[in-house]
Amino acid sequence: MVILSKKEKNIFSRYKELKENSGSHSPSIFTIKNAIEDITIKVDACFLSNPYATDLFINRFNNEIIDNFRLREILEYYPSQNLEIGKLLSDRLQVSKESIIIGNGAIEIIQALLHNFVSTNLVICIPTFSSYYEFIKPNTKVLFFKLQKENDFLFDKESYLKFIETHKAKNAVLINPNNPNGGYINFEDLQVLLGELSHLENIIIDESFIHFAYESTDKSMINYHALFKQFSNVSLVKSMSKDFGIAGVRCGYGLLNPSKIDGLLGNGYLWNSNGISEYFFNLFYEDKFYKEYQKVRIKYLNEMSFFKSELRKIKKIKTYPSNANFILVELLDGSTADIFAAKMLINYGIYMRSCSDKLGLDGEFLRIASRSKKENLMIIKAFKDIFNS
């Protein structure tokens, strides 16, 4: 069982204060660096992104913006309005521009949907991303559908449909792959499920981690744009932070019924992008960049598979099936997730997510993001060091 020394406890108490101030989310690396000088973060296995895609974006940004002295125009000029940026995505996504809304991160789209279109009740699978039940309006009832630990937190369609019927549900959220466990509903099964949920008023599908899932040997990408077109009650939410590694730029989009977009644009959401995010969406539209991204995506997926296989070999933990770029780990040696995560952070500079505050998780769980091959090896070595000591 992992325990902390007196010095480590002192540092941990300061971290706990930062965590409490961050609510159900993890404090940012900037926050930790500014508040606790004793901690040096070497590996960010807490926040979930592809580091090779970040490198790709930085290289292009340096070559096209910094080296060509174009930074001033990005900072000084207003970015384009929402609909204009949406046009850039239309061809790439093969969806009409009238159905696309840009967000200051996916979180803004999530909040817009919950506050403007969801009422009565909302079914949310747990464990999951907490903002879906934190942002709900006070007069909307949250109906928690609990994913079962004995079934590895995987989605069970028949139980879900029975739950929907029993509780007379009107709205539902499905994150696929799900966060924090990485459980995945394959495309055909999801299509069948949506057909059986056609009576619901709203179904929000969050596909923020979909670039890390695949169903073919060539690891080709999956998206749910066809499902959005097929089912009128479906809204899609997509964060660009994870797959493109640009959380600091704040890019996201939603595919919504045009009437919903008209309602949102009529009440704000006009200039909710910044100059750097507009530059990214121009890259996203560009075929050359998209092909370069596909290469680093495959590289990352291959290293991610190796990382997951190495984690599964470690005794004293259990890993759960994941089709995302992170893995849910249960500690079996009597250690608490908070203490273990603190040990990793303080002694090894590895920042990972304790899931002690996640609804629907009974036990001691960590969520660990896959990083570069070098960083993943550092995580594996730290696990072995801690357990061997």
Distance CA 47, CA 294 (A): 21
How buried is residue 356: exposed, middle or buried, by Cβ count under 10 Å (0-12/13-18/19+)? middle
pTM to 2 decimals?
Answer: 0.94
Q: In this model, does residue 147 exceed pLDDT 90? A: yes
Q: How many helices (H) and strands (E) does the chain have?
A: 16, 12
Q: In this model, does residue 389 exceed pLDDT 80? A: no
pLDDT class of 246 with cuts at 50, 70, 90: very high
In sequence order, the 6+-apart residues with CB closer than 8 A to the CB of 278 are 79, 80, 85
* Paired residues of 252 in beta bridges: 103, 239
pLDDT class of 125 with cuts at 50, 70, 90: very high
Q: What is the DSSP string of 231-246?
A: -TTEEEEEESHHHH--
349-362: average pLDDT? 95
**323 against 20, higher pLDDT:** 323
For residue 50 the two structure tokens come to 């592809």
DSSP H helices in the chain: 6-21, 29-35, 51-61, 71-76, 82-93, 106-116, 131-134, 157-166, 187-196, 225-230, 241-244, 258-265, 275-285, 287-312, 337-348, 373-388
With tokens 């629907």, the residue in question is 360
61-70: average pLDDT? 96
Q: In this model, does residue 322 exceed pLDDT 80? A: yes
- pLDDT per position as a tens digit, 150-160: 999 999 999 99
Distance CA 349, CA 46 (A): 12
